Amino acid sequence: MIRLEDGRVIPSILYYHRVAPDISPHVGVTPEMFERQMRFLKKLEIKGVTVADGLNGSDPQKTCILTFDDGYLDNFEYAAPILEDLGFRATIFCLSACLGSLSAWTDDPLWKGIPLMATEEIRELSGRGFEIGSHTRSHCDLGRTSREDPLRVRREIFDSRTELEDILGRPVTAFCYPYGSLSPESVDWVREAGYTSARSVRRNRIGRMYDPFMLPCRPVSGRMSPVRFSAYALAARMGL
Ligand SMILES: [Zn+2]
């Protein structure tokens, strides 16, 4: 679990990218592996929940916040049905200016040209109880861009929220920093834009207190052994 500076205690956060068959273990997990991991949580009586539910008083020893970055179409195709079968939900951080397109913010062939969910899919998932959060408009490196073009940083943070809210017809309150990159101004703007939390890519350290706009997480990749995943899950249950 995660202790916040304001006294709240919230569930641990797992962090995924893609879930697809025949996927490189560097970018995600296969549906079989994902299902095994989720069933393991269920066996421990740990429920996968959204950021919103995790922040709103769910028992941190009996829940685990599940997050997905970038909004890949495979989250809709493979991850969502597995989660729903177990009664779980998750938060998916999407890019409001990239919906329905192919990932293009990197030249790394492992990450480039991957289909992203379109407005129809995020609207449908939102209707099915999943939370859509903002990951900026275009996967902006907020730390670097803060020095070069601060106005763009502001737009990436503020406009992604309003654009997603226009599509979903409901408030968007969770934010996630692309690349985990941020600046002091960008954190202030996330707060000012009306989000209630932001996830970083920093690891959760036992005994530390966290700002809700700098939430730590535990990344899960296809390279992670079942033993390591079990350790994550057991730690969450023990309140670590
Ligand atoms: Zn990302």
Cα 141 to ligand 1 centre (Å): 10
Cα 120 to ligand 1 centre (Å): 20
- pLDDT value at 103 more than 80: yes
Strand 215-219 relative to strand 13-16: parallel, antiparallel, unpaired? parallel
Alpha-carbon distance 24 to 18, whole Å? Answer: 10
Q: How many residues appear in the chain?
A: 240
Please report the pLDDT score of residue 240 as a whole number.
Answer: 64
* Tens of pLDDT, residues 109-125: 999 999 999 999 999 99
Please report the pLDDT score of residue 36 as a whole number.
Answer: 96
Task: Summarize the confidence of residues 27-38 as an average pLDDT.
Answer: 96
Residue whose tokens read 């397109």: 101
What domains appear along the chain, each with residue ranges and CATH number? 2-237 (3.20.20.370)
- pLDDT value at 100 more than 80: yes
- pLDDT value at 40 more than 80: yes
Cα 37 to ligand 1 centre (Å): 22
Cα 16 to ligand 1 centre (Å): 10
Return the higher-pLDDT residue of 117 and 26: 117
Alpha-carbon distance 78 to 180, whole Å? Answer: 25
In which band, very low, low, confident or very high, does the pLDDT at 239 lie, cut at 50, 70 and 90? low
Cα pseudo-dihedral 210, 214, 215, 217, rounded to 10: -110
Cα 94 to ligand 1 centre (Å): 8
- pLDDT value at 184 more than 90: yes
Cα 220 to ligand 1 centre (Å): 14
Mean pLDDT of the chain: 95
Cα 199 to ligand 1 centre (Å): 11
Judged by average pLDDT, the poorest of 20-24, 131-135, 202-206 is 202-206
User: What token pair was written down for 102?
Assistant: 């192919």
Q: Identify the CA nearest to 14 among candidates 90, 80, 83, 121.
A: 90
Its pTM surpasses 0.85: yes
Cα 136 to ligand 1 centre (Å): 9
